[in-house]
A and B are shown apart, each in its own frame.
Chain A
């Protein structure tokens, strides 16, 4: 069985990349293949990478507070590109917005205070629901 393949990215203009880089390193140490697309990636670029990399799950991180409009655009772009991988959103996300994100179609939300092992387990579970 191949290793879980994850595409991670920072959409929008926010540059706070400490969190997503730490998650990427922890996911690699946990055995996943991680493609980190970097900063200021457009929704279309994320969707294209999800298809091209045959991603099992996609994770985006937003710490500017713009998570709702950005997640909506990323989901729209992924649907348009035929990317079926589940989308996880991490960042400074209050509980009330986590619910709203799930209603939009986001599969998993990692808000402030999420422990590193929980985020890693959550991403791996998304990537491989049967094995988790």
Chain B
């Protein structure tokens, strides 16, 4: 690190606070060329720094997967068809909050929230309607669902069954990462220990019957959105992954039996080089954890694959078209970092759900980067950059330090129960907001280059106001029409298996098939496990 003497006393750093020198040379690459070679390997080879696959985007482009869902299953089905018609290559389902938290649409707690931030799903019929005419043996589907992930997976398996699709034909990802709900996203229901059991039940079940499906996506994205740095994001993600793997191997499962199907999810924000370095460091760090801590022998167990979405917190309500530029840079960062799957946020998402126009532009952003820029022609194009390699090393070292701190608190679950990483995130968010207020962090249209009356909200997306009533009516009709005796028996089976500590998935599939609702199935878990209350944030 060389800083010219007598100039620029304010330290220049990345967004994570890593010092940045005016220029980097080969002297900044630790250990010299030979050591660097060992830290990099080749794409598709350990330690996978340069990418999970040898041919990267020459072999296969990343999956373009715009997150979508609102209103009823029919409305979301129409949005899915629209996106596929525009060249999207897979689906990603957003659920409304009642579904995420295990309430039926007619529950008192659901009032005002039905179909609002995602699609309302109460029953297997709703799930079948969501995918009506969309072949589940061909389309990969991502589900952003966590506390109620086992319930949603059961409904999905029943919907596939009705299409004549076998579980072993299904591809896609269930987010199923409950730890980041306690950490940042906050859509938890049950306390951490039984939540870990449900997560592990899903992964264990999937390792038997869903060989092509990712039963978990270990996620740093939400902690980042809630305020933490890139270094903390990576460290916390790895701490969660370690906790899940320990839970699963603790059940007697072999690491190599489930680890190849673990997937990851990171944010890509605006500090372009730091973000690319973080994504490269993520692969190397996971390789070291998988082989070092868990003794992976299958290379696929140590090969990190990830989905990336750009950060909503980088978006502004002021001069919203500027968000198109921000999204483009973040999408490019994800590509240069070697993402397997990408979501680009709508430029209007600072206000509301993206309009059809905004979501199309998001998809076009991905398509233009993929088809017109040539960045896909070679794997890991920034490898060997003195700066990027230096940052990759620094981020890996910083993330290991975070992991060590979490280990010192007794692991991710214990740390979360004490509220420690939650407080790191809150403090980082406060300090970021103060830097924004003081102008220390420039934000175009917000604290520099401000224009009067520049809140562009003319074309707001309007959800259908009648959705809540219609969904409630549909769910009530469903309850009245089903075979009540069979449904009650299936729910008792779920209650027994939950109490006995058996894997809940077979009983959930049985209950879903018998017409049990999301609320009824979740209620079995609420009774058995109770609900979590967050410790004080201060």
Contact = CB atoms under 8 A, between A and B. Distances in A.
Interface of A: 12-18, 21-22, 25-26, 36, 38-40, 64-66, 68-70, 73, 92, 94-96, 111-113, 115-117
A113 B112 contact: no
30 contacts: A12-B97, A13-B100, A13-B101, A13-B187, A14-B113, A15-B181, A15-B187, A17-B186, A21-B429, A21-B537, A22-B426, A22-B430, A25-B426, A26-B430, A26-B433, A38-B533, A39-B534, A64-B116, A64-B117, A66-B112, A66-B116, A68-B112, A92-B350, A92-B351, A94-B351, A94-B457, A112-B317, A112-B350, A112-B351, A116-B433
Contact of A65 (B227, B430, B463): B463
A70 B108 CA distance: 12
A22 B455 CA distance: 23
Contacts of A95: 455, 457
Nearest to B534: A38
Contacts of B109: 13, 40
Complex A-B, nearest 9 residue pairs according to Cβ-Cβ distance, in ascending order:
A15-B186, A69-B112, A13-B97, A113-B317, A112-B317, A66-B112, A116-B437, A25-B430, A22-B433
Contacts of A26: 430, 433-434
Interface of B: 97-98, 100-101, 103, 109-113, 116-117, 181, 185-187, 225-227, 313, 316-318, 350-353, 426, 429-430, 433-434, 436-437, 446, 455, 457, 460, 463, 533-534, 537
Nearest to B70: A65
A17 B187 CA distance: 11
A56 B31 CA distance: 61
A12 B109 CA distance: 7
Contacts, number: 93
Contacts of A96: 460
Given A13-B97, A15-B185, A36-B537, A113 B316 contact: yes
Interface of A, secondary structure class, is loop
Contacts of B313: 18
B352 A65 contact: yes
A13 B455 contact: no
A64 B97 contact: yes
Contacts of A18: 225-227, 313, 426, 429
Name, among A17, A18, A66, A70, the residue most crowded by chain B CB atoms within 10 Å (CB to CB): A18
Nearest to A62: B112
B121 to A, nearest CB: 15
A13 B463 contact: no
Contacts of A117: 437
Given A12-B112, A25-B430, A112-B351, 15 more contacts: A12-B97, A13-B110, A16-B186, A18-B429, A22-B430, A25-B426, A26-B430, A38-B534, A64-B116, A64-B117, A65-B353, A94-B351, A95-B457, A111-B317, A113-B317
A13 B100 CA distance: 9
A22 B227 CA distance: 10
A70 to B, nearest CB: 6
Nearest to A113: B317
Contacts of B113: 12-14, 64, 66
